[in-house]
């Protein structure tokens, strides 16, 4: 009996170890490179899991759509929900992300980027973006969709292999999910790695509404001719009566 248990123990340990890891699809780049994915990776489910990300941005002036899939060593780190940011002058960043660790290759599906919403929401923020400096000159811009927070971010942006790093400064309208970004955090998107040295996020102010002054009614002015027509007729009758009396008395 003891020998049987000793023989069974390695198999149980192997099964337990296998149950504590998950295999994830791994890829980065265009939709073609991520469907199907280029490769796979494995990670322990105690803290890690799989992720899928879709990104659309116009940070460099033209619209770029990127995708990535892979393993997360810390399942609870970083942004776990969709996030969008608008920096004015047509510059924006949209990131959609999901996480899972309940089954192998649970990140096989390809995500869509967050839908664009151009309907103004009655709020406004200072907006600007610089990818080569740690300051930028802002202007007030109406916010749209569910971007109801104002952000002021400064840090370093990294792109490509080998990595090219440069400072960045951004102000603009963003979704409430930006509250999850703190000073010192690193956000890895499908195309960039952002390291934040300054983070400010606060509810956007309401857009001031213009009010028209009340309409005033000018008082009716009297005619320059003096009395009304009725009074004129009355005066004429008195004059005629006086003339008749003079003739009778003479």
Residue identified by tokens 């740690």 is 134
Q: What are the residues whose beta carbons fall under 8 Å from the beta carbon of 224, sequence distance 6 or more?
A: none
Whole-model pTM: value is: 0.73
- Residue 185: is it exposed, middle or buried by C-beta count within 10 angstroms (0-12/13-18/19+)? middle
CB 74 within 8 A of CB 48: yes
At 192, is the secondary structure helix, strand, or coil? Answer: coil
Is 26 part of any domain?
yes
Round to whole Å and give the CA distance between 84 and 188.
14
Range of the domain at 78: 21-206
pLDDT at residue 70 in the model: 94
Dihedral sign computed on CA atoms, order 76, 184, 43, 27: positive
Is 217 part of any domain?
no
Cβ atoms within 10 Å of 33's Cβ, excluding its own: 15
For every residue of 8-29, DSSP letters joined together read HHHHHHHHHHHHTEEEEEEEEE
How many independent structural domains does the chain possess? 1
Is 211 part of any domain?
no
Backbone phi and psi for residue 16, each to the nearest 5 degrees, phi listed first: -65, -45
Helices then strands, each counted (H, E), the chain: 3, 13
pLDDT at residue 4 in the model: 45
Is 141 part of any domain?
yes
Is 247 part of any domain?
no
> For the chain (length 250 residues), average pLDDT per consecutive 10?
49 52 93 87 94 93 93 84 92 94 93 91 97 94 97 92 88 95 90 93 91 57 49 49 46
Say how far residue 103 (Cα) sits from the centre of its chain.
32
User: To 5 degrees, how large is the angle CA 204–CA 140–CA 85?
Assistant: 60
Q: What is the pLDDT of residues 117-142, one digit of tens each?
A: 999 999 999 999 999 999 999 999 99
Is 2 part of any domain?
no
Is 61 part of any domain?
yes
Round to whole Å and give the CA distance between 138 and 61.
17
Is 134 part of any domain?
yes
Round to whole Å and give the CA distance between 88 and 119.
15
pLDDT at residue 145 in the model: 95
CB 39 within 8 A of CB 29: no
Round to whole Å and give the CA distance between 114 and 85.
11
Backbone phi and psi for residue 148, each to the nearest 5 degrees, phi listed first: -115, 10
């Amino acid at each position: 009996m003891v020998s049987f248990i000793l023989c069974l123990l390695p198999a149980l340990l192997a099964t337990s170890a296998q149950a504590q890891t998950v295999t994830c699809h791994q890829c980065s780049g265009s939709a073609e490179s991520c469907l199907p994915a280029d490769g796979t990776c494995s990670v322990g489910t105690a803290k890690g899991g799989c992720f899928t990300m879709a990104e659309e941005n116009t940070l460099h002036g033209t619209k770029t759509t990127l995708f990535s899939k892979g393993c997360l060593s810390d399942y609870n780190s970083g942004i776990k929900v969709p996030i969008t940011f608008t920096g004015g002058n047509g510059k924006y960043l949209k990131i959609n992300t999901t996480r899972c660790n309940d089954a192998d290759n649970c990140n096989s599906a390809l995500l869509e980027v967050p839908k664009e919403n151009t309907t103004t929401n009655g709020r406004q923020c200072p907006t600007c973006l610089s990818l080569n400096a740690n300051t930028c000159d802002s202007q007030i811009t109406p916010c749209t969709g569910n971007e109801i927070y104002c952000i002021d971010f400064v840090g370093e942006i990294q792109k490509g292999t080998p990595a090219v790093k440069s400072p960045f400064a951004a102000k603009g309208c963003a979704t409430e999910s930006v509250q999850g970004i703190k000073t010192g955090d690193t956000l890895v998107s499908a195309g960039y790695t952002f390291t934040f040295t300054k983070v400010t996020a606060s509810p956007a102010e309401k857009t001031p509404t213009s009010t028209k002054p009340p309409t005033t009614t000018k008082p009716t002015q009297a005619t320059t001719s003096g009395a009304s027509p009725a009074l004129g007729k009355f005066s004429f009758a008195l004059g005629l009566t006086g003339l008749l009396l003079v003739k009778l008395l003479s």
